[in-house]
Structure 1
Amino acid sequence: MNAGFRRLADYLGSSYWFIPTFMAIAAVLLAGGMVSLDTVVGFGWMDRYPWLHASRPDGARQLLSSVGGSMITVAGTVFSVTIAAVVYASGQYGPRLLTNFMRDRGNQVTLGTFIATFLYCLLVLRTIRSAEEADGYSFVPNLALLVGVALALCSIAVLIYFIHHVPSKIHINSVIEDVGDRLLRGIGKRFPRSVGIAPEDDAAVAATIPATFRDDADAITGEQRRIVTARDTGYIQFLDDDVVLRVAKQRDLVLRLQYQPGDFVHVGRALVEVWPPERCDDDCADDLREAFSVGSQRSALQDLRFLVDELVEIAARALSPGVNDPFTAVTCLDWLSAALSDLAGRSLPSHLRVDDDGTLRVITHPVSFASLMDRSFGALAQYSAADMVASLRYLDALGEVSLDCDAPGRLATIRTHADRLEELAGEALTGFNLARIRTRAGELRAALGQPDYKRRLRDGTAWLAGTA
Structure 2
Amino acid sequence: MTLRTSAFVERIRASLFFIPMLGVVVAVIVASMAIAFDSRIDQDGSDLPLGFTSTVDSARALLGTVAGATITFAAIAFSVSLLIIQQASSQYSPRVVRTLFRDPFNKRVMGLVVGTFTYCLLILRSVRSSLEQGGDPVIPNLSVAIGVTFGIITILAIVAFIDHSAHSMDISTILEDVEDQAITQIRREWQTPDTATTPTPPPPRPSDPVHVVRFDRSGWVQQIDLDKAIGSIPTGQTMWVETYPGRYAIEGTPIGDLSSVPDDADAFEREVLAAIRIGDTRTMQQDVSFGLRQLADIALKALSPSINDPTTAQDAIFHSAAVLAELLRREPPSSVRSNGDGTRVVLVHQPTHDDLIRLAFDEVRQTAASMPEVCIYLLEALELLTEAIDDSKTDRAESLRHQAELVVAGCAAADSLPVDIHNVEQAFQKRFETR
SS at match of 1:293: strand
The answer for the alignment partner of 2:275 in structure 1 is 291
Q: How many residues align?
A: 429
- 1:199 deviates by 5.9
The unaligned stretches of length 5 or more in structure 2 are none
The answer for the alignment partner of 2:346 in structure 1 is 363
SS at match of 2:138: coil
The answer for the alignment partner of 2:423 in structure 1 is 436
SS at match of 2:243: coil
The answer for the alignment partner of 1:458 in structure 2 is none
1:339 maps to a residue whose letter is V
The answer for the alignment partner of 1:459 in structure 2 is none
SS at match of 1:307: helix
- In 2, distance between residues paired with 1:272 and 1:37? 63
Residue identity over aligned pairs, in percent, reads: 26
The answer for the alignment partner of 1:92 in structure 2 is 91
What do residues 111-167 of structure 1 show as CA deviations (whole Å, max 9, x unaligned)? 222111111111110111111114431111112111101110110111010110011
- In 2, distance between residues paired with 1:342 and 1:32? 51
TM superposition score normalised by structure 2: 0.93
Residue 348 (str. 1) matches residue 332 (str. 2)? yes
Residue 414 (str. 1) matches residue 400 (str. 2)? yes
SS at match of 2:137: coil
- In 2, distance between residues paired with 1:233 and 1:57? 60
The answer for the alignment partner of 1:423 in structure 2 is 409
Q: Is the 8 A contact 1:210 1:275 kept in 2?
A: no
- 1:24 deviates by 1.0
- In 1, distance between residues paired with 2:326 and 2:13? 27
- 1:269 deviates by 1.4
Residue 16 (str. 1) matches residue 16 (str. 2)? yes
- In 2, distance between residues paired with 1:89 and 1:270? 36
Q: Is the 8 A contact 1:352 1:360 kept in 2?
A: no
Segment of structure 1 superposing worse, 2-11 or 266-275: 2-11
1:14 maps to a residue whose letter is A
Q: Is the 8 A contact 2:199 2:334 kept in 1?
A: no
RMSD: 2.1
- In 1, distance between residues paired with 2:384 and 2:113? 47
The unaligned stretches of length 5 or more in structure 1 are 448-452, 454-468
The answer for the alignment partner of 2:198 in structure 1 is 200
- 1:7 deviates by 2.1
2:404 maps to a residue whose letter is A
- In 2, distance between residues paired with 1:15 and 1:239? 23
The answer for the alignment partner of 2:223 in structure 1 is 238
Residue 308 (str. 1) matches residue 292 (str. 2)? yes
Q: Is the 8 A contact 2:3 2:223 kept in 1?
A: yes
Distance 1:37-1:344 versus aligned 2 partners, 3 A rule: same
1:409 maps to a residue whose letter is D
2:231 maps to a residue whose letter is R
Residue 174 (str. 1) matches residue 163 (str. 2)? no
Q: Is the 8 A contact 2:302 2:312 kept in 1?
A: yes
- In 2, distance between residues paired with 1:446 and 1:108? 51
1:230 maps to a residue whose letter is F
The answer for the alignment partner of 2:323 in structure 1 is 339
Distance 1:79-1:50 versus aligned 2 partners, 3 A rule: closer
- 1:75 deviates by 1.2
Q: Is the 8 A contact 2:182 2:290 kept in 1?
A: no
SS at match of 1:271: strand
1:327 maps to a residue whose letter is T
Distance 1:179-1:135 versus aligned 2 partners, 3 A rule: closer
2:288 maps to a residue whose letter is L
The answer for the alignment partner of 1:2 in structure 2 is 2
SS at match of 1:363: strand
Distance 1:254-1:152 versus aligned 2 partners, 3 A rule: same
Segment of structure 1 superposing worse, 165-174 or 304-313: 304-313
- In 2, distance between residues paired with 1:186 and 1:47? 56
- 1:34 deviates by 1.1
- In 2, distance between residues paired with 1:169 and 1:185? 20
**1:61-460 maps to which residues of 2 (within 5 A)?**
61-192=60-191, 200=198, 202=200, 205-206=201-202, 209-212=203-206, 217=207, 222-223=208-209, 225-248=210-233, 251-278=235-262, 281-356=265-340, 359=342, 361-364=344-347, 365-403=349-387, 404-405=389-390, 406-428=392-414, 429-447=416-434, 453=435
Q: Is the 8 A contact 1:226 1:280 kept in 2?
A: no
- 1:278 deviates by 3.0
- In 2, distance between residues paired with 1:201 and 1:8? 33
- 1:211 deviates by 4.5
1:254 maps to a residue whose letter is T
SS at match of 1:43: coil
- 1:391 deviates by 1.0
Segment of structure 1 superposing worse, 154-163 or 360-369: 360-369
- 1:177 deviates by 1.0
- 1:339 deviates by 1.5
Distance 1:228-1:113 versus aligned 2 partners, 3 A rule: same
- In 1, distance between residues paired with 2:249 and 2:238? 22
Distance 1:423-1:279 versus aligned 2 partners, 3 A rule: farther
- In 2, distance between residues paired with 1:385 and 1:426? 8
Distance 1:356-1:251 versus aligned 2 partners, 3 A rule: closer
- In 1, distance between residues paired with 2:235 and 2:39? 63
SS at match of 2:289: helix
What do residues 181-231 of structure 1 show as CA deviations (whole Å, max 9, x unaligned)? 1111121111029xxx976364xx44xx1541xxxx3xxxx23x2212111
- 1:245 deviates by 3.1
Segment of structure 1 superposing worse, 371-380 or 126-135: 126-135
